C-alpha cells in the first residue's frame, strides 16, 4: 500500500480536483484506491457521495479522546469501481488546535490497519496546521499541485518547511512531484509559471500539465469525476496522462527502493453507503 498526500496550503490550486481525478484514474486502472478527504470544506466528499448517506466521517476517527471510531467504519463505496472514500466533516477543523504527539499519528495508525488498498490518496486542506501534519506523517509521498498563476510558487516554500518538520517523524517522506494545474496557454503568466516550475523542480516537475478547463470545474457540481462528465474531452485526457505518469513514478520508486510490485493481492471488502 502506498500513501500519497496531495498538498499545498495555497487555496484553490486544484488539490481536490487532482485528488478526485487522480484517485478515480488509479481506480480505473485496477488499483484498489481509497480517497481520504481531510478538508472540513468536504469538496471531495460532496463530489463522490450524497451527503445524506454519510453517518460516520473522518472526524469520528480523529477528533476527541473517547468513543473514536476505527477508520474502517468511515469507509464508503463510491459509484466508481475500485474507489472508496472516507468523508470529511466540519468537526475536522477542531484538529487544528495543539494536539498531543500520540494524536498526530492517529491518521497514520488508522491507515496502517487497512489491508484492502493498493493506494491511498489524501486530499489535504489549504492550511499548514495539524491536519496537514497528520497527513504528512502518514504518507510515503507528496504531490504538490501548483496553479499556473501569479505568486503560485511562493506558498511552496512554506510547504517545504512543513515537509522538513514532518520528516523528523517520517524520514521516508518524499516528494513524488510537482504538477502544474489550471494552465491557460493564452495567459503569459501561465507560461512563465510553467517555465519556472520546470526550471525549479526539474525532473520532479510532472511533464503532464492540467489545463484550465470548464469540464474540470463543472464536473464536481454534477457529482462526477471529469472522466464521467466529459469522457472524450481534454480534462479526461490531462488527468489520464497525469495518472499514468504517477503510476510510472511509483513503479520506478518501488523497483528502485524495495524490489516489490505496486499491486499487491488484496481481498475486496467494502462497506456500502448506508
Ligand atoms: N484544471 C482546472 N480547470 C478549471 N477549473 C479548475 C481546475 N482545477 C480546479 N478548478 C476549479 O477551481 C476551484 C478550486 O479547485 P480545487 O477545489 O480543486 O482546489 P483546492 O486546492 O482543493 O482548493 P482548497 O484550497 O479550497 O481546498 C474549484 O472551483 C475547481 O472546480
Ligand atoms: Mg480542496
Between CA 74 and CA 85 the distance in angstroms is 8
Which residue is closest in CA terms to ligand 1's atom 14?
Answer: 12
Ligand 1 and 144: CB distance under 6 A:
no
At the fourth CATH level, the homologous superfamily of domain 2-257 is P-loop containing nucleotide triphosphate hydrolases (3.40.50.300)
- Domain residue ranges of the chain, discontinuous segments joined by +: 2-257
Between CA 60 and CA 57 the distance in angstroms is 5
Return the ligand 1 atom nearest residue 8 CA.
21
Strand order in the sheet with 76-77: 76-77, 83-86, 33-37, 119-123, 2-6, 141-147, 174-181
pLDDT, averaged across the chain? 91
Which residue is closest in CA terms to ligand 1's atom 8?
Answer: 14
Q: What is the 13 CA–ligand 1 centroid distance (Å)?
A: 6
Predicted pLDDT at 125: 96
Predicted pLDDT at 265: 40
Ligand 1 and 15: CB distance under 6 A:
yes
**Running DSSP on this structure, what letter comes out for residue 212?**
-
Predicted pLDDT at 104: 92
Name the grid cell of 100.
498531543
Predicted pLDDT at 262: 52
pTM more than 0.85:
yes
Q: Which residues of the chain have pLDDT under 50?
A: 259-261, 264-274
Predicted pLDDT at 152: 82
Which of 8, 12, 132, when mutated, tests ligand 1's pocket best, judged by the most ligand atoms within 8 Å of its CB?
A: 12
Predicted pLDDT at 270: 44
Predicted pLDDT at 33: 98
Tens digit of pLDDT for each residue in 170-220?
Answer: 999 999 999 999 999 999 999 999 999 999 999 999 999 999 999 999 999
Q: What is the 12 CA–ligand 1 centroid distance (Å)?
A: 5
Amino acid at each position: 500500500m502506498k500513501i500519497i498526500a496531495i498538498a499545498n496550503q495555497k487555496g484553490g490550486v486544484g488539490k481536490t480536483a487532482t485528488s478526485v481525478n487522480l484517485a478515480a484514474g488509479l481506480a480505473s486502472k485496477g488499483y484498489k484506491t481509497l480517497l481520504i478527504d481531510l478538508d472540513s470544506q468536504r469538496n471531495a466528499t460532496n463530489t463522490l457521495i450524497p451527503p445524506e448517506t454519510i453517518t460516520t466521517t473522518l472526524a469520528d476517527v480523529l477528533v476527541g479522546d473517547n468513543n473514536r471510531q476505527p477508520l474502517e467504519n468511515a469507509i464508503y463505496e463510491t459509484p466508481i469501481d475500485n474507489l472508496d472514500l472516507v468523508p470529511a466533516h466540519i468537526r475536522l477543523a477542531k484538529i487544528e488546535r495543539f494536539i498531543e504527539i500520540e494524536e498526530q499519528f492517529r491518521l497514520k495508525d488508522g491507515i496502517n490497519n487497512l489491508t484492502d488498498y493498493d493506494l491511498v490518496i489524501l486530499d489535504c486542506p489549504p492550511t499548514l496546521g495539524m491536519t496537514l501534519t497528520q497527513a504528512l506523517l502518514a504518507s510515503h509521498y507528496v504531490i504538490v499541485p501548483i496553479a499556473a498563476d501569479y505568486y503560485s510558487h511562493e506558498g511552496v516554500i512554506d510547504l517545504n518547511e512543513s515537509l522538513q518538520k514532518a520528516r523528523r517523524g517520517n524520514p521516508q517522506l518524499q516528494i513524488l512531484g510537482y504538477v502544474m494545474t489550471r494552465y491557460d496557454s493564452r495567459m503569459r503568466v501561465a507560461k512563465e509559471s510553467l517555465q519556472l516550475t520546470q526550471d525549479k523542480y526539474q525532473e520532479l516537475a510532472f511533464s503532464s500539465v492540467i489545463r484550465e478547463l470548464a469540464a474540470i470545474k463543472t464536473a464536481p457540481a454534477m457529482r462526477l469525476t471529469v472522466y464521467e462528465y466529459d469522457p472524450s474531452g481534454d480534462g479526461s485526457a490531462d488527468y489520464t496522462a497525469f495518472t499514468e505518469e504517477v503510476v510510472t513514478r511509483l513503479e520506478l520508486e518501488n523497483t528502485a527502493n524495495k524490489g516489490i510490485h505496486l499491486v499487491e493481492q488484496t481481498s475486496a471488502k467494502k462497506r456500502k453507503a448506508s
